[in-house]
Amino acid sequence: MLSARSLFQEILDNDASFRLFCSIAASGESQGGWENGRIAALVPRSEAALAPKIARHGADEDKHGRIFGALLRKRGLRPVDVPPDTDYTMLLERHGIGLAHERLKADRPLTVQDIVTYLAHSRVTEQRACEQMELLRRHFGDHPDIGRAVRMIAHDEDNHLAYCHEELLRFARAGHGRAIQRTLRACALAEIRVYRDVSLAVMAHMGRTLGWSKARSAVLTAAIHALYAYERLGGWRRMVSLRMPEHRDALGGPATPAPELV
């Protein structure tokens, strides 16, 4: 029976597919760490109190990248180059979502609107990250090899999403509500297209690595397109709603270390 659990178990059991999976994940997390680090360094003076939280977000992402690298080393594997068509972060930037890397490389402060754009982008992408990690936590949270890593990353992603909700609501109260909703909608509609394209690319690479039949690949391709259709018809709206999280000030302290994995 083809299920999310059986699919990931197959990827986990094969060194080549596991190597590709961890390499893609590590690259995306490390890129997110760099982006958040630059944003923290360029926060406008009026939002200086936000800088430590953004830095914490970046430190968490860096940690996740190291965790995926550590999982590879535990298997005696080295990372591989990430295929461009699976580079979620790069493709989002190419679609104009979030803050451009050229802007982050410049040494001039960001504007408040830039920070709103960053938070809206993060709210959308962290929703996706939380859902993916919750799926892994449900099926592999007790796995002897990857369970601790899955639980730790999932916990961090929950905190990141809570932080985005709280900060965006603060900016909405300050008069940025319409800009936030407009940016959230644009980000969500772009993200679901990028996620579809990246999912198709990852499945194609995994299918070649694992020798999937044409029939199995066709079923997975159809499932990815069905998910996109659902999200395009209205599923994207879950990515743009805002509510005050139960866990307030989720990024108000230092990043939690992972000494057993890094």
Does any domain span residue 168? Answer: yes
Does any domain span residue 255? Answer: no
Give the chain's length.
Answer: 262
Q: How far apart are CA 239 and CA 189, in angstroms?
A: 9
What domain range is 100 assigned to? 4-239
Does any domain span residue 140? Answer: yes
Does any domain span residue 259? Answer: no
CATH number at residue 55: 1.20.1260.10
pLDDT, one tens digit for every residue, the chain (262 residues)? 578 889 999 999 999 999 999 999 999 999 999 999 999 999 999 999 999 999 999 999 999 999 999 999 999 999 999 999 999 999 999 988 889 999 999 989 999 999 999 999 999 999 999 999 999 999 999 999 899 999 999 999 999 999 999 999 999 999 999 999 999 999 999 999 999 999 999 999 999 999 999 999 999 999 999 999 999 999 999 999 999 999 899 998 776 776 555 4
Does any domain span residue 81? Answer: yes
Count of domains observed in the chain? 1
Q: How far apart are CA 60 and CA 33, in angstroms?
A: 7
Q: How many CA atoms lie within 13 A of 68 on its CB side?
A: 22
pLDDT of 261: 56
pLDDT of 260: 55
pLDDT of 262: 43
Does any domain span residue 250? Answer: no
pLDDT of 3: 83
Q: What is the 3-class SS of the chain, one letter each residue?
A: CCCHHHHHHHHHHCHHHHHHHHHHHHHHHHHHHHHHHHHHHCCCHHHHHHHHHHHHHHHHHHHHHHHHHHHHHHCCCCCCCCCHHHCHHHHHHHCCCCCCHHHHHCCCCCCHHHHHHHHHHHHHHHHHHHHHHHHHHHHHCCCCCCHHHHHHHHHHHHHHHHHHHHHHHHHHHHHHHHHHHHHHHHHHHHHHHHHHHHHHHHHHHHHHHHCCCHHHHHHHHHHHHHHHHHHHHCHHHHHCCCCCCCCCCCCCCCCCCCCCCC
Q: Which two tokens stand for residue 44?
A: 């406008």
Greatest CA separation for the chain? 57
Q: How far apart are CA 172 and CA 179, in angstroms?
A: 9
Does any domain span residue 226? Answer: yes
pLDDT of 252: 86
Does any domain span residue 186? Answer: yes
Write the CB contacts of 204 (distance below 8 Å, at least 6 apart in sequence): 217
CA angle, residues 20, 24, 28, in degrees to nearest 5: 170
